[in-house]
Amino acid sequence: MVGLILNFVSACRASGLRVSTAEFLDCLAQLDLVDISDEVQFKTVLSSNFAKSRRDRCRFEQLYRLFFHELSQIPASSSPESMGGLIAELVEVLREGADGDVTYRAIIEFLSGNPLTFLAELKRIRTEEHPATQGGRFNLGPLASRLQVLVNLNRLRNMVAHFINANESRLGFDTGQNLALYFNASLDTAYTLLMNEPRPPGDDTREVTTYRQHYRRLGELPFSMLSQREVEEMREVIVELVRKLKDMATRRWASHSRSVLDVKKTLRRAQRYQGIPVEIVFRHHPPRKAKIIALCDVSSSVWSAARFMLNILYSLQECFTKVHSFIFVSGLAEVTAIFEAHEINLAIEKVLREAAIEYYAPTDYGETLRHFKRDFMDIPDKKTTLIIMGDARTNYFNPEDAILEELRERCRRVIWLNPEPETEWNTGDSEMLTYKPHCHEVRQCRNLNQLIDFIEDLIL
């Protein structure tokens, strides 16, 4: 039993679940307490110890199915002993065909009942970054690695068929068929593992699509369709709005309840009453302030929405410890300094002129995330809220969503604001569905009312 569970733990680790020794020991102790012949109980013990969040569950389910249901299912019709020998023989034959190809060897290991290398290989393919090569950029990196596995799977399938044909007289028809069945089933399993990557379920991501009507006309106009006059009008409204929000934030501050005794102040006040502490003074605990990182797409359509968000965020700076802002198209540039040096409206005008990015390049989210990971990974911490404002239209470049997952692990919250109407998400080159499971919250943000709702949620 210990060996079996240990193998399963190794498989979990190979495909990226973090299982500690303590959890493994807990699991063993708990297995003694339940009736392991009842599968619900057995599975519950494993899942409650090894998959400690909803997000880990889907990967766990896949591994569990593989490990306890699909691996090494020898066809029932033949006697297991003779099959065992034949399987080993065939695996040896297949192994001789290996030629330094890592994936090929991983699949052979998988066929002989040891899925670890194959799972690790799949994890590599899943999380590998594909930096843009000189000249052309394309989305084929992950596809190419998958193709490599597919080619090898097909090659093995042919080799198995060949072996069985060649040895038909020795094996007999039935045994040959069973052997083919066994190997093809295993290869099918490997194929499914490759093609049906379990993504984290999107269902724990909060999706906000409805909003309150704060302003009737101006609030409903999509940012992208504002005329110059309406932009001016919008600015005035924002000034008023910011004042209101600040009021609300300070009220919350003031009402925040007392904590420990302020000895110094209490003693000082006691002087007035001959040393009798009539008034007791408590220290106030300011509510925790958040750190904000804003990543804004500035390609034409999105910029019109992003500018208003930056405007509000910077107007409300007192509510946050620090606001870091970045803009991107196909590369990333930090613009925090511009906002610190200039008045907000001026800064917004300057951002587009002065930041070192190519405005007319096609938007590349993958490159942006890679760039962030390379240069700015030290900024996010457990108090940071990462706000990404963009339409998630990747122009069919590699979305690199594994990096967003990495960011999620470092941040307190990840929020994606999409200025497109929800009906257009996931159409064409929009990768919203790919990014969504990695976010805590996704929101539509195409007019002022939606933006106000979001900001209220953020600071209150």
Partner 1 sequence: MKFTGVDDVLIKLESAHYIPSREIATVVFLADATSKPILVEGPAGVGKTELAKAVARSLGRELIRLQCYEGLDEAKALYEWEYAKQLLYTQMVKDKINDVIAGAETLAGAVDRIAAQEDAFFSERFIQPRPLLKAISSDKPPVLLIDEVDKSDPEFEAFLLELLSDFQVTIPELGTRKAVNIPFVVLTSNNYRDMSDALKRRCIHLYIDYPERELELRIVMLKNPGIHGRLAGQVVDMIRAIRNLDLKKKPCISEAIDWARSLISLRIEGITPEVVLQTLPMICKYRADSEKVKKSLDTLFSRV
Torsion on CA atoms 97, 100, 101, 103, rounded to nearest 10 = 90
Look at residue 100 and give its three-state secondary structure: coil
Minimum distance between the CB of residue 267 and partner 1, rounded to whole angstroms? Answer: 10
Question: Which is nearer to partner 1, 217 or 288 (by Cβ)?
Answer: 288
The answer to whether 445 touches 419, Cβ cutoff 8 Å, is yes
- In 44-119, DSSP assigns E strands to none
Question: Which is nearer to partner 1, 25 or 231 (by Cβ)?
Answer: 25
b/e per residue 58-89 (b: at least 16 CB within 10 A): bbbebbbebbeebbeebbeebeeeebeebbee
Question: Which is nearer to partner 1, 57 or 146 (by Cβ)?
Answer: 57
Question: Which is nearer to partner 1, 170 or 288 (by Cβ)?
Answer: 288
Minimum distance between the CB of residue 206 and partner 1, rounded to whole angstroms? Answer: 8
Minimum distance between the CB of residue 221 and partner 1, rounded to whole angstroms? Answer: 19
Q: What's the rounded Cα separation, in Å, for the pair 451 and 419? A: 10
Please give the full DSSP string across 366-420, using - where no structure is assigned.
HHHHHHHHHHHTTS--TTEEEEEES--B-TTS---HHHHHHHHHHSSEEEEEE-S
Question: Which of these, 308, 339, 315, 313, lies nearest to 243 by C-alpha position?
Answer: 315
Strand partners, 337: none
Torsion on CA atoms 121, 125, 131, 134, rounded to nearest 10 = 90
Question: Which is nearer to partner 1, 45 or 313 (by Cβ)?
Answer: 45
Residues whose CB is less than 8 angstroms from the CB of residue 448 and which lie 6 or more positions away in sequence, other chains included? 214, 215, 218, 219, 221, 223, 234, 237, 308
Strand partners, 417: 389, 443
Question: Which is nearer to partner 1, 124 or 289 (by Cβ)?
Answer: 289
Minimum distance between the CB of residue 449 and partner 1, rounded to whole angstroms? Answer: 12
Question: Which is nearer to partner 1, 351 or 411 (by Cβ)?
Answer: 411
Minimum distance between the CB of residue 117 and partner 1, rounded to whole angstroms? Answer: 26
What's the one-letter identity of residue 394? Answer: T
Minimum distance between the CB of residue 272 and partner 1, rounded to whole angstroms? Answer: 15
Minimum distance between the CB of residue 412 and partner 1, rounded to whole angstroms? Answer: 5
b/e per residue 374-391 (b: at least 16 CB within 10 A): eeeeebbeebbbbbbbbb
Q: What's the rounded Cα separation, in Å, for the pair 411 and 385? A: 6
Minimum distance between the CB of residue 25 and partner 1, rounded to whole angstroms? Answer: 11
Minimum distance between the CB of residue 40 and partner 1, rounded to whole angstroms? Answer: 4
Question: Which is nearer to partner 1, 279 or 343 (by Cβ)?
Answer: 279
Question: Which is nearer to partner 1, 273 or 396 (by Cβ)?
Answer: 273
Binding site for partner 1 (CB under 8 A): 18, 20, 22-23, 26, 29-30, 33-35, 38, 40-41, 44-45, 47-49, 51-54, 57, 203-204, 207-210, 256, 259-261, 266, 276-277, 280, 285, 287-288, 382-383, 408-409, 412-413, 440
Residues whose CB is less than 8 angstroms from the CB of residue 19 and which lie 6 or more positions away in sequence, other chains included? 9, 12, 13, 49, 50
SS3 content of the chain, % helix, strand, coil (to 5): 60, 10, 30
The token pair that represents 249 in the structure block: 């934030």
For 343, which DSSP code?
A: -
Question: Which is nearer to partner 1, 127 or 266 (by Cβ)?
Answer: 266
Question: Which is nearer to partner 1, 73 or 209 (by Cβ)?
Answer: 209
Q: What's the rounded Cα separation, in Å, for the pair 176 and 172? A: 6
Determine if residue 198 is left, alpha or beta; phi over 0 gives left, psi from -120 to 50 gives alpha, anything else beta.
Answer: beta
Minimum distance between the CB of residue 54 and partner 1, rounded to whole angstroms? Answer: 5
Give CA separation, 388 vs 223, 302, 347, 391, in Å: 17, 11, 20, 10
Minimum distance between the CB of residue 257 and partner 1, rounded to whole angstroms? Answer: 8
